[in-house]
Chain A
Amino acid sequence: MSMYHTTAQLRHNWPVVLLATLLAAGLAAPLASGAATSGFFLEVLLGGLMAGVLYSLVALGFVLIYKASGVFNFAQGAMVLFAALAAARLAEHMPLALAATLALLLMIAFAWLVERIVLRPLVNQSAVALLMATLGISTFLEGFGQALWGSAIYSINLGLSKEPMILGAQLFEGGILVSRDDLVATSVVGALVLVLGLFFQKTATGRALRAVADDHLAAQSIGIPLNRIWVIVWSVAGFVALVAGLVWGSKLGVQFSLSEVALKGLPVAILGGLTSVPGAIIGGLIIGVGEKFAEVFLGQALARWFHLQGGGIENWFAYVLVLAFLLVRPEGLFGERHIDRV
């Protein structure tokens, strides 16, 4: 009996097993082939994990909104940009904490407007129509944000030293470089996930959010106000966007490309399963590490074999990985299984 059980599970989970095997092989290959020293290897690995943490942060925004309203929010990247721009420009006149609070208030106002102007008239429309509407929101917000706050590159100073730390100098030659703000980013994301988890599991609002995510109609019929839930969840997504914008902005500078880097969050959310918060985190780490390894090791190999002009496969690696995974397992790693299949 238990034997049968494991085979059945294996039959269902083989894409996950395959993915894990491929990732492990991809990780082991550079070391085994001698393309990298262990110090360099660890540096790439850590860099990938850090990038992955940031991807998770954006993917978290996608997941929150998708869970509660079934909307695939293409505007999450634009929200990151807008929140970061607002915080950066306001911080020129006041302390950063105050500026961030004001930016959060702006994001809440934005959530309210989205509910009023976009979600309410479009209720019961097809998912594709809603997706296109969020594309519209995204374009509008990018234009509006830059018209309001300016379109140059602004900096956010979180008060961290930019000095990288050298870890494990006694273990490897030269040690490995780790930048301090990456560590802060990681702990911030960890804390955020913890807080969101508590919020979803322990508070009444969180329970209402999960009810809405399960079944709109049933939730409404027991008296959960859908419209207010939407405002709340878009506000939470705005808060996540603000955190992502602050962390990312302090690393790269606040500029238009923030909104495009956020496109990376899309495959992450899908790989993790659109409805799963832990999925977003693990998906982010997988894609962050996979992408860095693909870029550093596979990209070079490809360029050598096919005489390409440089690697640059970072731009599509995540998407193609996710596309291949989607074909065999549309619900992603941890998503719920009732996904629209044809």
Chain B
Amino acid sequence: MLYRENGQFKTSYRADQQLLPITQDRWLMIALIALSFLVVPFVASDYAFRALIVPFLILTIAAIGLNILVGYCGQISLGSAGFMGVGAYVAYNLTVRVPQLNFLVVLLLSGGSAALVGIAFGIPSLRIKGLYLAVATLAAQFFLDWAFSRIPWFTVDSPSGSVSTNLIELFGWSVERPVDKYLLVLGLLCALTLAAKNLTRSHIGRAWMATRDMDVAAEIIGVRPVVAKLSAFAVSSFYAGIAGALWGFVHLGAWEPAAFSVILSLNLLFMIIIGGLGSMIGSFFGAAFFVLLPLLLNRVPGMLGIDLSTTMKSQLEAMIFGGLIVLFLAIEPRGLARLWAIGKEKLRIWPFPH
């Protein structure tokens, strides 16, 4: 009843093509953005920022990137953490070697270099697909892992192979407190989400989806597969690179090469499967689920009076993740995002039956 588009007539093409065509959606989005910029900074605790909110936001950026490649363009990737690593190490090198550079420029450059690496490793996708592409991207992951730990140039000759970052300065604003970090990441996430959403609505996004649904048919109607696939790899790796730089600088602060291992790649893939392949909001759901599940496993058994050891919790986490992936693929392949859409659909006619 509340969520009804009765009487909302679209009288221009602009109105028909806007991002959120339903008035209630627009108000909800405005409220959400206002809430996260104006209320959350004063309400949430430092712990919540550090352990939950900031990782959630950064992982969302990475998940959006991977979703563009896997969900929109249909090219599977098991190497997204490697591309995050490229972003993180490029950002580290830039801040150490060219300290006067603005952090936003650093982010753009690290995203850009990750995009270049992504294109290089995306070239096999022009010849192979599906299972074989999974192996090609795994090759990228293992090679990049090795490069970061063995080539001293990446870590600026750090003897242990681990690096620690400097304070981020942005136009005189030093991003030091958890709230500052939150606002920085939130701002970037909003900009990147908007860009990604619009990209997927543009001709290039339609080319991605056509390639995903049937590559031969796409080629026949004039989509150039080389351009479509490599641009998906580039955009996806660009997002991964920015997310990696933020993960290193804002979330971790100091990291070892193992921070960007194949486990993170798989987790990112799990996030978008559970959240919803080929959906922006699915990336948010997936990342939120991934961050919240360990917290729930920490709290809930304790409340029920069951005492679990730490290893048991991590194993339980693996079981829940694995089980949910199989369940979602079998029952609801479009993930939590689809459940959300069904809920909205139901809400349109609620509480009346028709």
Chain A interface (Cβ < 8 Å from any Cβ of B): 72, 117-118, 121-122, 125-129, 131-133, 135-144, 146-147, 151, 263, 266-267, 270, 274, 303, 306-313, 315-316, 319-320, 322-323, 326-327, 330, 339-342
Contact = CB atoms under 8 A, between A and B. Distances in A.
A137 B321 CA distance: 9
Contacts of B312: 147
A316 B142 contact: yes
Given A146-B315, A330-B128, A122 B329 contact: yes
B139 A133 contact: no
30 contacts: A121-B331, A127-B130, A128-B74, A128-B130, A128-B131, A132-B329, A136-B273, A139-B318, A139-B325, A140-B323, A142-B318, A144-B318, A147-B312, A263-B138, A266-B135, A274-B131, A309-B151, A309-B152, A312-B146, A312-B149, A316-B142, A326-B124, A326-B128, A326-B135, A327-B127, A330-B127, A330-B132, A339-B132, A340-B130, A342-B126
A342 B146 contact: no
Interface of B: 74, 76, 124-132, 134-136, 138-139, 142-143, 145-146, 149-152, 161, 215, 225, 266, 269-270, 273, 311-312, 314-319, 321-326, 329-331, 333
Given A127-B130, A308-B151, A143 B273 contact: no
Nearest to B219: A342
Contact of B326 (A128, A136, A270, A326): A136
For A127, A140, A151, the residue with the greatest tally of chain B CB atoms inside 10 Å of its CB is: A140
A151 B315 contact: yes
A263 B142 CA distance: 11
Contacts of A313: 146
A341 B325 contact: no
Of B150, B152, B317, B323, chain A has the most CB atoms within 10 Å of the CB of B150
Contact of A342 (B127, B142, B269, B323): B127
Nearest to B262: A263
Contacts of A125: 329, 333
Main secondary structure on chain B at its contact with chain A? helix
B326 to A, nearest CB: 4
A327 B120 CA distance: 13
Contacts, number: 158
Contacts of A144: 315, 318-319
B321 A133 contact: no
B326 A340 contact: no
Contact of B322 (A122, A137, A146, A323): A137
A288 to B, nearest CB: 17
Given A129-B329, A315-B142, A270 B132 contact: yes
Nearest to B330: A121
A309 B161 contact: yes
Nearest 9 interchain pairs by C-beta: A140-B322, A143-B318, A136-B325, A139-B322, A319-B139, A121-B330, A143-B319, A316-B142, A147-B315
A132 B75 CA distance: 12
Given A118-B330, A129-B329, A342 B129 contact: yes
A116 to B, nearest CB: 11
B127 A341 contact: yes
Given A316-B146, A326-B127, 19 more contacts: A117-B326, A117-B330, A122-B329, A125-B333, A133-B325, A135-B325, A136-B273, A138-B322, A139-B266, A143-B315, A147-B312, A303-B150, A309-B149, A313-B146, A315-B142, A319-B143, A327-B127, A339-B132, A341-B127
Contacts of A263: 138
B130 A143 contact: no
Given A131-B76, A135-B325, A308-B152, A143 B143 contact: no
A72 B273 CA distance: 18
A267 B266 CA distance: 18
Contacts of B135: 266-267, 270, 319, 322-323, 326
B131 A72 contact: yes
A119 B163 CA distance: 45
A129 B152 CA distance: 39
Contacts of A270: 132, 135
Contacts of B333: 125, 129
B336 to A, nearest CB: 15
A266 B138 contact: yes
B322 A141 contact: yes
Contacts of A312: 146, 149-150
A266 to B, nearest CB: 6
A184 to B, nearest CB: 30
Given A266-B135, A309-B149, A319-B139, A340 B129 contact: yes
